[in-house]
């Protein structure tokens, strides 16, 4: 079946690293994505990783993929108050463009 799970909340202190976790069930997923949603706004693509990769780094963002455990994580280094938002992981289905989203993790950054 199709299921993408995330924890609902994460609270971190400014300057610390944040790690947002995601698990998925569909082993045929080809791409996995992280989107950011700020209040009142749409979804902004942060980064994505192809399923044959283990890691992708883009400035403060590091994505780790454990395909065996179907576990995806997003690490934000030096977290800032502007990083406060809801973060969604999503998987794409095989050769289609259909996205299956997780429930979203609300990241709160406090001073």
Partner 1 sequence: EAQVTQNPRYLITVTGKKLTVTCSQNMNHEYMSWYRQDPGLGLRQIYYSMNVEVTDKGDVPEGYKVSRKEKRNFPLILESPSPNQTSLYFCASSPGRTGQPQHFGDGTRLSIL
Residues lying near partner 1 in the complex (CB under 8 A): 4, 8, 30-31, 33, 35, 40-45, 48, 50, 88, 90, 92, 95-99, 101-104
User: Cα angle at 45 between 51 and 72, to 5 degrees?
Assistant: 35
Alpha carbons 67 and 42: distance in angstroms, whole number: 29
Pairing of strands 105-110, 9-13: parallel
- Residue placing its CB nearer to partner 1 in the complex, 50 or 110: 50
Q: How far is the CB of 95 from partner 1 (least distance, A)?
A: 5
- Residue placing its CB nearer to partner 1 in the complex, 3 or 78: 3
Q: How far is the CB of 54 from partner 1 (least distance, A)?
A: 17
Residue from 75, 78, 61 nearest 20 by CA: 75
- Residue placing its CB nearer to partner 1 in the complex, 14 or 23: 23
């Amino acid at each position: 079946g199709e299921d993408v799970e995330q924890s609902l909340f994460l609270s971190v202190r400014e300057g610390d690293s944040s790690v947002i976790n995601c698990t998925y069930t569909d082993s045929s997923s080809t791409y996995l994505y992280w989107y950011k949603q700020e209040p009142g706004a749409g979804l902004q693509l942060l980064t994505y990783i192809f399923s044959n990769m283990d890691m992708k780094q883009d400035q403060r963002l590091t994505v780790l993929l454990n395909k065996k455990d179907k576990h995806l994580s997003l690490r934000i280094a030096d977290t800032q108050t502007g990083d406060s938002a809801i973060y969604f992981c999503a998987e794409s289905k095989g050769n289609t463009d259909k996205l299956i989203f997780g429930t979203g993790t609300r990241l709160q950054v406090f001073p």
